[in-house]
Structure 1
């Protein structure tokens, strides 16, 4: 595990317990099955294209779109944009170039899906089922957004099969992950009011965990009025 710095300091056991509740809520636990296409949603996490490569080798899809422009959280990580670097990573892991389409302009999840839909339409790809591959804690928001933006297709969500503690180790910054968990949950709650996503039920214990982590200062990814 990377050395912890002041900016990457460990979270407490109680914060970890509350964050794990939110993590579990974000995971959709969909049963995987073959789909017409997959969309790798841009982020700061190369675990997304790596998992796309695993799912491609497993035969779950034949066409893959990587979507995403510059990353707003860590722009220096992917200077050419998320989709470009994700494609490079997937090709290095054995996904053939002809299987990958590129959508390099999206700046949010709604655009990821809408712009990828347009790319697929331009390619003449018939889509009835789509596999959304994202970071683990982004599954629910991706699902809710896709059901709003592209209601005609069946949506299945997937992410690297990691437990919370293991994911913390892969990222190397526990505080960053908790900030992201909280921010994504706020979007699950608030985006339906803005007509960006469908409504999702949020259990009371998850809401309590969310509100208490905000009180603890995990608010850097919150939407501001």
Structure 2
């Protein structure tokens, strides 16, 4: 049964990956926010909080479904994010929905096309994602959309509170491990700009795999 408690013997390694993947740029006004779909509804809640502060006039939610999201968001991640944001005070006129993307590259490719169709010029954009998706999202966005000045942010919660909000420590750790692997795999494949991975992050990653947190790894052979 899933629990929201990180085992004590893993906490330091989990914290290392968590801190590495968070970017949390200082916030300033941008042309648009891009909310990346996932199992995590906090992306839409946080987007609404920042919209009400006047940081952007428009938010584009992007995402179809994945095996990890179809039960929670059966009509699609971006569709449900839109509803969450409206309930939190964002007017429908300030929201665009991109409902087809099934991976991070498509999130940015399809959102760029949508914004072009909408006639919205984009020089600056704020990527809103799961807290631990920030680094991979940024690396992908800069590869596919290099002319845009991207900032990254996510709901401001410490690791313990975030895991409790998700209610499944294994899912969070598995995703942290998977995103760490993808930084290298996707950069090698030309899908993302390279990121320097410090030795302490590599060590934590290896130990968490050894401990069995490997369900989100992708085959590389």
Scaled by the length of structure 2, the TM-score of the pair is 0.97
Q: Which runs of 5+ in 1 are unaligned?
A: 1-5
What is the CA distance between 1:9 and its match in structure 2?
A: 7.1
What is the CA distance between 1:74 and its match in structure 2?
A: 3.0
Say if 2:76 is the partner of 1:81: yes
Equivalent in 40, 43, 50 of residue 45 of structure 1: 40
- The Cα offsets for residues 95-147 of structure 1, whole Å up to 9 and x where unpaired, read as 00000011000000010011000000000001000100000000000000000
What is the CA distance between 1:75 and its match in structure 2?
A: 1.4
Q: How does 1:149-168 map to 2 (within 5 A)?
A: 149-168=144-163
Say if 2:124 is the partner of 1:126: no
Match of 1:193 in 2: 188
Contact 1:51/1:159 (<8 A) preserved: yes
Contact 1:71/1:78 (<8 A) preserved: no
Q: How does 1:19-168 map to 2 (within 5 A)?
A: 19-168=14-163
Give the root-mean-square deviation of aligned CA atoms.
Answer: 1.0
What is the CA distance between 1:7 and its match in structure 2?
A: 3.7
Partner of 2:195: helix, strand, or coil? coil
Whole-angstrom distance in 2 between the partners of 1:115 and 1:67: 8
Whole-angstrom distance in 1 between the partners of 2:102 and 2:137: 14
Whole-angstrom distance in 1 between the partners of 2:138 and 2:128: 10
Whole-angstrom distance in 2 between the partners of 1:176 and 1:18: 15
Whole-angstrom distance in 1 between the partners of 2:90 and 2:135: 26
Contact 2:24/2:154 (<8 A) preserved: no
Q: 1:142 to 1:9 in 2, by over 3 A?
A: closer
Q: Which runs of 5+ in 2 are unaligned?
A: none
Contact 1:68/1:107 (<8 A) preserved: yes
Whole-angstrom distance in 1 between the partners of 2:100 and 2:197: 31
- The Cα offsets for residues 174-209 of structure 1, whole Å up to 9 and x where unpaired, read as 111101110111111211001110000011001000
Match of 1:172 in 2: 167
Match of 1:16 in 2: 11
Scaled by the length of structure 1, the TM-score of the pair is 0.95
Contact 2:36/2:128 (<8 A) preserved: yes
Whole-angstrom distance in 1 between the partners of 2:125 and 2:115: 11
